[in-house]
Amino acid sequence: MTPVGFPAYHPHAVGHPARGHTSPVTYVLLITIPAIVAVAALRPR
């Protein structure tokens, strides 16, 4: 049996999402903004 070699671990930089990935904040805004608009539209005047 021969020893197994693993490549060095390099953690990804934190702070900016990888290209092609959507930030979780975007998903939150895509859900909450239409909900707020719908509640405002259905609110009795």
- DSSP character string of 1-45: ------PPP-PPPSSSPPTT---HHHHHHHHHHHHHHHHHHHS--
Contact (Cβ atoms closer than 8 angstroms) between residue 28 and residue 22: no
The pLDDT score that the predictor gives to residue 29 is 94
The pLDDT score that the predictor gives to residue 36 is 94
The pLDDT score that the predictor gives to residue 30 is 95
State pLDDT tens for residues 3-45. 888 888 888 766 665 667 788 899 999 999 999 999 999 987 7
What pTM value is reported for the model? Answer: 0.47
